[in-house]
């Protein structure tokens, strides 16, 4: 069976503005102490187990060339540009159509990953996804990876688990239900119960299973997968006709074939600047400092300067200060999730040139 990896890399990363821009979003930034682009980390993570010729990136048309330049090890034809922004269900339908056409008549499985997650140790990650692929190939189900929560996180969706389906240290469980991002009280209940996992947004399935289940549960997309074989005007028209819907809503919450594989690795979804605390080295005062910066009496703050100018700060505590060539953004660390509201205000004022 041919094993493929599809990495979704079309997000805009608006909560990382002004570092993240339309033509250089989060996945094309260096956000950790590794010094690598996020998307390069994603590729390096799976390289020991999947040949580059079977690794595909799905992104926006405006990002195809920058990603080609960032990942010269991948065949250019493996970087697939979506004709329009339509969320993850149409995105994965497009990948399915292209792969079904490329390897006609051959059995295939797909690991769907994302370009903006922190994972360690990588050996454990590869072991987990190998187990997930083994299981879906054998049983014809669709697996996501669930992360054991270590805090009452309100920024992630949750998966309620049922019976264990295998006898392995890497457990695979029935999915009872998918839960939206909870409030803090509900998140605390989920954590205390021990029955809930974070939804990582990674998926594993046989290609034929995915197509069958999409036809059954999202026929408006699934019935057209066989027509999504290559980028051309006809396919563009079909793709643009799709509603923007996530794979969770279109398929995972409806299918009777959902299972969840429990991760045995550390996972972090870099959702906003405050998440950098968990994945970067800090100075003796708990600060993350990047670039040409002088910081005095600052503590537990994130100060990033991507310019040749000098950025200075005095007395900051639990703050975020970002300087780029054409914009400066400052907020308290606890409000980092709300940076998207700044982006929305910029759009409302007609200042899209800064995005």
pLDDT at 33: 85
**Can you list the domains of the chain with their CATH numbers?**
2-271 (3.90.550.10), 274-354 (no CATH)
pLDDT at 43: 96
pLDDT at 232: 83
Average pLDDT over residues 166-194: 95
> What pLDDT digit, counting tens, does each position of 147-161 carry?
999 999 988 999 999
- Whether 4 contacts 340, CB under 8 Å: no
Query: 13 phi and psi, to 5 degrees?
Result: 60, 40
- C-alpha distances in Å from residue 29, one per residue of 26, 56, 116, 280, 305: 5, 19, 10, 14, 13
User: Which tokens go with 297?
Assistant: 């009496």
Q: Where does the pLDDT of residue 276 fall: very low under 50, low under 70, confident under 90, or very high at 90 and above?
A: very high
For 104, which DSSP code? Answer: T
Average pLDDT over residues 223-241: 91
Average pLDDT over residues 211-228: 97
pLDDT at 234: 87
Average pLDDT over residues 337-351: 97
Mean pLDDT, rounded, of the chain: 96
Pairwise CA distance, residues 116 & 122, whole Å:
15
pLDDT at 128: 97
Average pLDDT over residues 187-197: 97
pLDDT at 6 over 90: yes
pLDDT at 231: 78
pLDDT at 201: 94
Identify the residue with better confidence: 110 or 270: 110
pLDDT at 272: 93
Q: Give the list of residues 6+ apart from residue 255 with CB closer than 8 angstroms, or none.
A: 142, 213, 216, 217
pTM (global) more than 0.75: yes
Pairwise CA distance, residues 306 & 323, whole Å:
6
The DSSP annotation for 137-172 comes to HHH--EEEEEEPPSS--SSS-EEEEEEE-S-SSS-E
Largest Cα separation within the chain, whole Å, is 65
- Whether 243 contacts 111, CB under 8 Å: no
Q: Where does the pLDDT of residue 259 fall: very low under 50, low under 70, confident under 90, or very high at 90 and above?
A: very high
pLDDT at 89 over 90: yes
- Whether 9 contacts 39, CB under 8 Å: yes
pLDDT at 355 over 90: yes
> What pLDDT digit, counting tens, does each position of 284-326 carry?
999 999 999 999 999 999 999 999 999 999 999 999 999 999 9
What percent of the chain clears pLDDT 70, i.e. is strictly above it?
A: 100
pLDDT at 138: 98
Residue 196's H or E segment, with its range, is: strand 196-206
Query: 336 phi and psi, to 5 degrees?
Result: -60, -30
pLDDT at 106 over 90: yes
Average pLDDT over residues 210-238: 94
Produce one character per residue of 232-271: b if its CB has 16 or more CB atoms within 10 Å, e if not: eeebeebbeebeebbbbebbbeebebbbbbbbebebbbbb
pLDDT at 12: 84
């Amino acid at each position: 069976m041919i094993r493929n990896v599809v990495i979704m890399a079309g997000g805009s990363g608006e909560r990382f503005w002004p570092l993240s821009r339309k033509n250089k979003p989060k996945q094309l930034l260096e956000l950790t102490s590794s010094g690598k682009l996020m998307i390069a980390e994603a590729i390096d993570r799976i390289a020991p187990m999947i040949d580059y010729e079977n690794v595909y990136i799905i992104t926006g048309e405006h990002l195809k060339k920058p990603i080609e330049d960032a990942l010269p090890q991948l065949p250019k034809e493996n970087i697939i540009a979506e004709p329009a922004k339509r969320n993850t269900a149409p995105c994965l339908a497009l990948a399915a159509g292209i792969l079904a056409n490329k390897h006609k008549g051959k059995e295939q499985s797909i690991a769907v990953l994302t370009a903006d997650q922190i994972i360690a140790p990588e050996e454990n990650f590869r072991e987990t996804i190998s187990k997930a692929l083994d299981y879906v190939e054998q049983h014809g189900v669709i697996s996501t990876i669930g992360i054991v929560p270590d805090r009452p996180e309100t920024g992630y969706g949750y998966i309620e688990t049922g019976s264990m389906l295998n006898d392995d240290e890497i457990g695979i469980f029935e999915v009872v239900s998918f839960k939206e991002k909870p409030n803090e009280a509900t998140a605390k209940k989920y954590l205390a119960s021990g029955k809930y996992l974070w939804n990582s947004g990674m998926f594993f399935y046989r290609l034929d299973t995915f197509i069958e289940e999409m036809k059954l549960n999202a026929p408006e997309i699934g019935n057209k997968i066989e027509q999504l074989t290559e980028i051309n005007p006809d396919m563009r028209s079909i793709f643009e006709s799709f509603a923007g819907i996530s794979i969770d809503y279109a398929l995972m919450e409806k299918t009777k074939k959902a299972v969840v594989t429990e991760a045995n690795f550390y996972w972090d979804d870099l959702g906003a600047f405050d998440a950098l605390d968990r994945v970067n080295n800090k100075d003796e005062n708990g600060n993350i400092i990047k670039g040409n910066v002088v910081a005095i009496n600052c503590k537990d703050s994130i100060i990033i300067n991507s310019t040749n100018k000098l950025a200075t700060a005095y007395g900051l505590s639990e703050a975020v200060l970002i300087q780029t060539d054409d914009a400066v953004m400052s907020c308290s660390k606890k409000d980092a999730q709300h940076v998207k509201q700044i982006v929305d205000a910029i759009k409302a004022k007609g200042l899209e040139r800064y995005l």
